[in-house]
Chain A
Amino acid sequence: MKEILDEADLIKLLKEVGAELDIELDGTTPSTTLDSLGLDSLGLYEMLAILEGRLSLRIPDEKVSEIETVDDLVGALIELQKSQLETAADGTGGE
């Protein structure tokens, strides 16, 4: 079964993705807003698309609009990984 990436793992992944997208993530704190990283909506979608690919999950549109800070993003990714695991364990999921 797939392991869930925790907060530390996700921050590490974010920094990797940030480097690919030329976004400086060193020195960010959980309350850092994505706006202040110079991420416009296109940049945010670009980053989310890469994260979705790496984590094999899909962030619902209504969730995307709630993400303002690094903490929001990490929290959303943890929650989505968990619900994906639960769905798989229920056996009700599937492609």
Chain B
Amino acid sequence: MSQRARDSASAGEVVVTGIGLVSPVGGDASSTMKALLAGESGVELLADPAREQSPVHVHAPVSDTALTGISRQERRRLDRSSLLALQAAREAWKDAGEPEVESDRLASVISTGVGGLLTIFSGYDRFLEKGYAGMPVTTVPALMPNSSAALIAIEYGARAAAVSLASACASGADALAHALRLFRDDEIDMAIVGGTEAVIHPVALSAFGALRALSTSSDPSAASRPFDRDRDGFVLGEGAAIMVVERRRHAIARGARIWGKLLGAGSTCDATHLVAPDPTGEGSAKAIRKALRSAELAASDVTFVSAHATSTPPGDLAEWRALRDAFGSSLPDIGVTAVKSAIGHLVGASGAVGAAVTAMSLYQGQIPPTQNLDNLDQEIELDVVQGAPRSIGGGAALVNSSGFGGHNVAIVMASD
């Protein structure tokens, strides 16, 4: 390829220019990254007085003090998942330098795995108390799963598209995959993209608990232990991760700081079981191969993997098999990190959190460590980053994601 052709191709690349994150370990992107690198945990004991009867004892909440950019009216009107999304979107937009962009070329792609669950429950509580006439008029707009995508579209005038994709715990990664397709179809020059989730409620905890998906540990700092022999389920967390992504030529023309590149995405479905992952990891391996092809990279180009790694016994095992099959002989040279060891599982936000943290890792050259890996599962052979952050000199990274429904999504990013 000639230099001119290369320049022209790279001008069309998609780059990350803004990051916003509200997580159980920090109210913004930089404090979250700092806490992850320092090995801090956002997992806490449930404050619910009924906890003694519950098989689930821990969760990973976002501190209420994190919602600094949210008005009283928004708190009253919107679901918590949208408050977290708005907080993260406003941070990301500011971080991107409050860009000027043509409205018809801006999309809002904000996913959630569940939607406004807390609004549904509070609405039902209100219904039981006051009956048919007592329902707040804000109930339907607050509980819609597309509410956050639409709110962010309204705030920034994103008229090209606003959509929320539902693929359970892969939703956040699917948002990025969808945004990338909008760029490739030349529909947009910029997208506000990510995921949000806020479903910490006794009903959700007991429902996930009934599926035996959650850890029953009562030790907050040790409950989330991806790839560890003694892992026993995930810790339910909440939060949002939202990024501003745009064409490189658009970013360069306005002098934006570039965190990293969004190079490729691949999605598949196991089509085997509604909640259990395919134990072979075949669908996930295919998604990873598709993502690498889409990024025009080889397995050996990947420096590290941000694993889905929820800490469930079957999930982590299936993911290991997928990584083994997709990366083959390159796998021993690839560091693997599991962010959920620190912040629990943010469900529909988790893939977006993985991507946001990966963008910061690529930019800063530091991969956060995986916590609680005392004994690597004897079936799993991975170079898991643990104990301290690992320094890297850039390169490419893969963010892996899977969800109930058999959804598999892989995202490829790279340092600029």
A residues engaging B (CB < 8 A)? 21-22, 42, 45-46, 49, 53
Contacts and interface: CB of A to CB of B under 8 A. Distances in A.
B137 A45 contact: yes
A46 B137 contact: yes
B365 interface: no
A42 B77 contact: yes
B73 A49 contact: no
B12 interface: no
A53 to B, nearest CB: 7
Contacts, number: 19
Instruction: From B77, B136, B137, B138, name the one whose CB has the most chain A CB atoms within 10 angstroms.
Output: B137
Interface string B117-137: 000000000000000011011
B99 interface: no
A22 B133 contact: no
A53 B137 CA distance: 12
B141 interface: yes
B400 to A, nearest CB: 39
Contacts of A21: 73, 76
A42 B141 contact: yes
A53 B136 CA distance: 11
B72 interface: yes
A45 B72 CA distance: 18
A46 B72 contact: no
Chain B interface bracket (under 10, 10 to 19, 20 to 34, 35 or more): 10 to 19
The 7 closest A-B pairs by CB, nearest first: A45-B137, A22-B73, A49-B137, A46-B137, A22-B72, A46-B138, A42-B141
Contacts of B134: 53
Contacts of B141: 42
Chain B interface SS verdict (over half): helix
Nearest to A44: B137
A46 B77 CA distance: 9
9 contacts: A21-B73, A22-B73, A22-B76, A42-B137, A42-B138, A42-B141, A46-B136, A53-B133, A53-B134
Nearest to B133: A53
Given A22-B73, A22-B76, A42-B137, 12 more contacts: A21-B73, A22-B71, A42-B77, A42-B138, A42-B141, A46-B136, A46-B137, A46-B138, A49-B136, A49-B137, A53-B133, A53-B134
A22 to B, nearest CB: 5
A36 to B, nearest CB: 16
Contacts of A53: 133-134
Nearest to B77: A42
Interface string B371-387: 00000000000000000
